Amino acid sequence: MELILISTAFLAGFIALKCNLPPLVGFLLAGFGLNAMGYESNESIVLLADLGVTLLLFSIGLKLDIKTLLSKEIWAGATIHNLLSTAIFSVALLCFKVLGISSLAAMSIDQILLLGFALSFSSTVFAVKSLQEKGELNATYGTIAIGILVMQDIFAVVFLTASTGKLPEWYAIALFALPLLRPLFYKLLDWVGHGEMLVLFGIFFALVVGAGLFEFVGMKPDLGALILGMLLAGHKKASELSKALFNLKELFLVCFFLNIGLLEQPTIAGFALAILFLLLLPLKGILYFLVLNTFKFRVRTSLLTTLSLFNYSEFGLIVGGLAFKMGWMSGDILVALAMAVSISFVLASPINNKGHDLYRRSSRWLKEHAAEKLNIRDQLINPGNAQILILGMGRIGTGAYDELRTRYGKVSLGIEVREEAALKHREQGRNVICGDATDSDFWERILDTDNVKLVLLAMPHHQGNQIALDQLKQRQFKGQIAAIAEYPDQLEALYQLGVDAAFNIYSEAGSGFARNVCDHLQPEFTPINNEHDIAQFVETSTRMNKI
C-alpha cells in the first residue's frame, strides 16, 4: 500500500506543479482519489503526518520573534478576528439551519457556535508553505500572517485543553523555567556542529524536548515544539537549523496532506455542505482585511496578508474531530469540514500565486491611508545620497556591502526585510533600512532614485529577485542591475529578464575564496604556463594517483 501512496502522491504533485499549482494541492487530490478507490489512512501515515506538523511548528518557532506576538496588530488583530468571525459564521449557519439544511437542522446553538469557531481558523501549514515557495516568509505581510496563525494555534490549544476537561498536571508549572535553560540550549546547539548531528539535534528538541515534554505534563505536544523553536530563535545557527530540517519536514508534510483526503469517504451531502462553507469564506477574507486595515497598514500589506489566510484550517479539523468523538458533531459535518478545508486549499493556491497581480488591479479603487498615518513599517523611504542599492542583506548582501564600502566609501544603502536584522546592521555601522523589495509600493515609497547607479539583487530566493527586477523594469530604472542565483537555468532566466550581470553563488564562492586567500596570504608560487611543464605536471600527478 505504501508504494501505491508514494507513487500516487508523486504523480499528483508533479501534475500540480506543471499546472503552476503548489504540489500540496496534488497531494490533497491524491488523498481524495485514493479514498474514493477504497484506500484508508493507517497508523504510519498518521504518525508521519503528525511528525511533519510538529517539525513545521518547530521551524516556525525558529524564525519567530516573541516581540512579533506582543505587537497589538498581532494579538489584538487575531483576537478580534477570531471573535467576530466565530459570531458571523454562527449567525450564517443558524440561517442555514432555519432554511432547513438537513445536516444543520439537528444541531443545537452550542454546536453551531462550535462549528463557527472551527471555521474561524486559517491554515498554518498552507500559509507557511505558500510563503516559503514565494520567498516571502520574512516579508511584512508574511510575518503578520504567521503571527496571527500562531495566536490562532494558541486559541485552539486552549480550547482543546478546556473541552476535554483534562487540565495540565500540577507540575506543568515547571515549564516556566524553560527560558532559564536557554543558555544551555545555546551551548548544545554550538557543540553539535553543522552536519547530521545538527539535524538530529533539531529532531530531538522538536519531538522529545518540546513535544514529548509538553505531552508528559498534559499539554498539546505541537505547542511544545513551537515554544522550543522560539527559545532557539535568537541563536546564530537558528536559520541553519531550519534549513537543515527543511527537506525532512517537507517529506513528512506530504503524508499530512494525503491524510486529510484519506480521513473520510466523500458524500454528496457532505460535498453540498462543504460548498455552503466555501460560500462563507469571502466573509472571513473581508473581515481579515478590515481588521488589518484598522491598524493603518497599507492596502497591499492588508490584502496580501488576507490572501495568505484565505482558507480553512487543519486545526478546524482537529476541533471538529474532537467534537465528533464527544458526540457534539455528526459524521456528515466532519466530512463536510474536511472537504471544505481541502477545497479551500485548492482555491487559495492560484489566488496566492496571483496575489501581486490582484493587488495591482485592485489598488486603484481600494482607499489608502494618508502617508503620515501609515503604520511605522510602511513609512516613506529616503535613500539620501546612496548610489548603490543592495536588496537583501544576508551573508552575500553583507559581504557585497562591506567590499563596496572598502572600495568606494559609504555609497551603498542596504534593504533588509527583517526589522531586527536591519537594526543589527545599523548598530554595526552599515547604512541599512527595513523594507520589502518585492513590494510594488516599496519603490513608490522611495522619494528619489536619481542618484542610484547600481542595484544588487542579493535576496536568498530566486523568485524574490525576479519580482524585484520586474519592479525595477516597470519603473524604467536606468542604472545597472546585478543579481545572484543558485542554478544555471536561473542565471539564464535573469539575463532574459534584462540584468546586466548575474552570478552563480556557488561557483563565485570558489573563485572568491581563492582570491581572498591570495590577497591575504600573498603566497609565492612558480607559475606553470608552458605546455611542456603542464604535461609533465599532469603525468607526475597521474603516476602518483596510480601508486
Q: Select from 506, 468, 470 the least CA-distant residue to 488.
A: 506
Predicted confidence at residue 378, as pLDDT, reads 62
* Identity at 237, one-letter amino acid code: K
Predicted confidence at residue 541, as pLDDT, reads 53
Question: Average pLDDT in the 132-140 region?
Answer: 72
When comparing pLDDT for 180 and 448, which is higher?
Answer: 180
Per residue in 336-384, pLDDT (tens digit) is 887 888 788 888 888 888 887 888 787 777 777 666 676 666 666 777 7
Predicted confidence at residue 425, as pLDDT, reads 92
Question: Average pLDDT in the 103-109 region?
Answer: 81
Question: Average pLDDT in the 180-191 region?
Answer: 91
Give CA–CA dist 278/283, Å, rounded.
10
Range scoring the smallest mean pLDDT among 154-158, 254-258, 456-460, 500-504 = 154-158
How many other CB atoms are found less than 10 A from the CB of residue 38?
Answer: 7
Q: What are phi and psi of 454, to 5 degrees?
A: -145, 135
Predicted confidence at residue 283, as pLDDT, reads 93
Class of domain 388-521: alpha beta
Q: What is the Cα Rg of the chain in Å?
A: 26
Helix segments in 354-487, DSSP class H:
355-362, 395-408, 419-427, 440-445, 462-474
Res 527 pLDDT > 70: no
When comparing pLDDT for 70 and 439, which is higher?
Answer: 70
Q: Select from 120, 90, 121 the least CA-distant residue to 108.
A: 90
Predicted confidence at residue 164, as pLDDT, reads 60
Predicted confidence at residue 377, as pLDDT, reads 62
How many other CB atoms are found less than 10 A from the CB of residue 333?
Answer: 25
Question: Average pLDDT in the 114-134 region?
Answer: 85
Q: Which CATH architecture has domain 1-363?
A: Up-down Bundle (1.20)
Sequence-distant (≥ 6) Cβ neighbours of residue 13 within 8 angstroms: 23, 24, 26, 27, 30, 254
Give CA–CA dist 464/132, Å, rounded.
11
461 falls in which pLDDT band (50, 70, 90)?
confident
Mean pLDDT of the chain: 81
Q: Burial of 339 by CB count in 10 Å (0-12 exposed, 13-18 middle, 19+ buried)? A: buried
Per residue in 282-298, pLDDT (tens digit) is 999 999 999 998 888 88
What pTM, to 2 d.p., does this model score? 0.68
Q: Where are the domains of the chain?
A: 1-363, 388-521
Helix segments in 263-366, DSSP class H:
268-279, 281-294, 299-308, 314-325, 331-353, 355-362
Give CA–CA dist 413/409, Å, rounded.
12
Predicted confidence at residue 537, as pLDDT, reads 47
Give CA–CA dist 359/302, Å, rounded.
10
Q: Which helix (H) or strand (E) holds 100?
A: none
Spatial contact of 248 and 55, defined as CB atoms under 8 Å apart: yes
Give CA–CA dist 161/149, Å, rounded.
18
Sequence-distant (≥ 6) Cβ neighbours of residue 184 within 8 angstroms: none
Residue with cell 514565494: 134
329 falls in which pLDDT band (50, 70, 90)?
confident
Highest mean pLDDT among 459-463, 512-516, 531-535: 459-463
Q: What is the largest CA-CA distance in the chain?
A: 95
Predicted confidence at residue 78, as pLDDT, reads 92
Res 545 pLDDT > 60: no
**What is the chain's percent helix, strand, coil content, to nearest 5?**
70, 5, 25
Question: Average pLDDT in the 504-516 region?
Answer: 72
Beta-bridged to residue 415, according to DSSP, are: 391, 433
Res 167 pLDDT > 60: yes
When comparing pLDDT for 17 and 485, which is higher?
Answer: 485
Q: Select from 203, 236, 207, 220 the least CA-distant residue to 163.
A: 220
Spatial contact of 486 and 396, defined as CB atoms under 8 Å apart: no
218 falls in which pLDDT band (50, 70, 90)?
confident
Give CA–CA dist 78/147, Å, rounded.
8
Residue with cell 486603484: 364
Predicted confidence at residue 66, as pLDDT, reads 73
Give CA–CA dist 400/185, Å, rounded.
33
